[in-house]
Every structure is written in C-alpha cells, then in structure tokens.
Amino acid sequence: MNYPNGQKKIISKQATSWQSKKSFSNRGMSLEDDINTTNQFYLDIDRAVIHKKPTPVQIVNVHYPRRSAAVITEAYFKQASTTDYNGLYRGKYVDFEAKETKNKTIFPLANIHEHQINHMKSIVEHEGICFLLIRFAAHEETYYMQAEKLFPYWYDKLHGGRKSIPYEKIKLDGFHIPLQYQARVDYLSVIDKLYF
C-alpha cells in the first residue's frame, strides 16, 4: 500500500488472513442484509410493506450481572418458524423464504423444512404470492423461484429422488435478480412481471 507521501506500507500475511476471514464470516448474512435494505427502501418510497418475521422465543432463564443489564442464558423456540418475510404489495399478500448457499452447483433441499413447504403451499392455495430467494454466494447471484416451481423438487425428494436442485435448473426455472444500489434485491420487479 502506498501513502500519499510516497512511503510504502507493508501488510503482513497475518493481517490479510484476518481480513479475508472477516469478509468470509460476514457473507452468511449478506442476503438477509440486502433484503432488509431493499425492504426499507420499498417502505421509504411507499412501494410495499414487507418485513422480516420475528422468531418466537420463550425465555426461560435470565442472569442479571448488574442492575442495568440482563443476559438471557436459556431460551427455546416456541414453535417452528414458517418463512422469513411477509407483507403487502399492490393489494396482494407476499410471503417468502431467503436462503444462501456456498455450494456452486446445487441448492440443497435440506435448507428447507417440511413445515415451511406446508406453509408455502397454504399461501399459494389462498392466492398469495409465495417464493424463495436463493443466493449462490460463490457466483454472487440471487434467484427468485416461485413456490409452485419449488414444490415438484420437494415432492421428488420425498419419493427418493434428488435431495437438491441443480444450479442450472434454478437458472432455468427461476429469475435472476441483479444487485442494485438502493433496492439491492429488487424482487418486486419479478413480481410485477409475473402477477401484474
């Protein structure tokens, strides 16, 4: 690295390995962060009202090390969560799950649970808009996949078929969402094409 006065700064291998670990560890939440930023932008411009669902937790034990601080030491999920996000867009109910994988060639169906599929099926049966956002971290690509396109892969898995969806199939069955500045993951543009 060169400073403006022309002197060189040598960066140690230790510093660069820490930086690469730091950026790698932050990748896990990047899809969620991008969706939250997108949803806030939609809300700010009054385009849609979509929020992340809170996870219902039962607090069992709390430790009070000081009067002004409390630390939860034991808690349990009250029930299995359904999907990550829900809300309203142009008078339609929107409900979706967001998943990120480091795998380059497949999306493992183990990332989705049966109760989530049942929930998504109910949304579709009641004419809501339901989908899955899948990010392939290795490709830095995000895809919108309608729940109706996901179900056949899930049912095939239950009957002894593949336990994953090939990346190429997601490219065919899904819709690529390029990253943008304010609406980082502009999934409403896909909804507009499909439903309006």
Q: For residue 157, give the 3-state DSSP assignment.
A: helix
Binding site per annotation, positions for Mg(2+): 82, 84, 97, 116
With beta carbons less than 8 A apart as the criterion, state whether 106 and 165 touch.
yes
- Cα distance between residue 173 and residue 168, in whole Å: 9
Please give the biggest Cα pair distance in the chain.
Answer: 68
Measured CA to CA, the distance from residue 196 to residue 165 in angstroms comes to: 28
Residues at the binding site are 82, 84, 97, 116
Separation of alpha carbons 59 and 72, rounded Å:
7
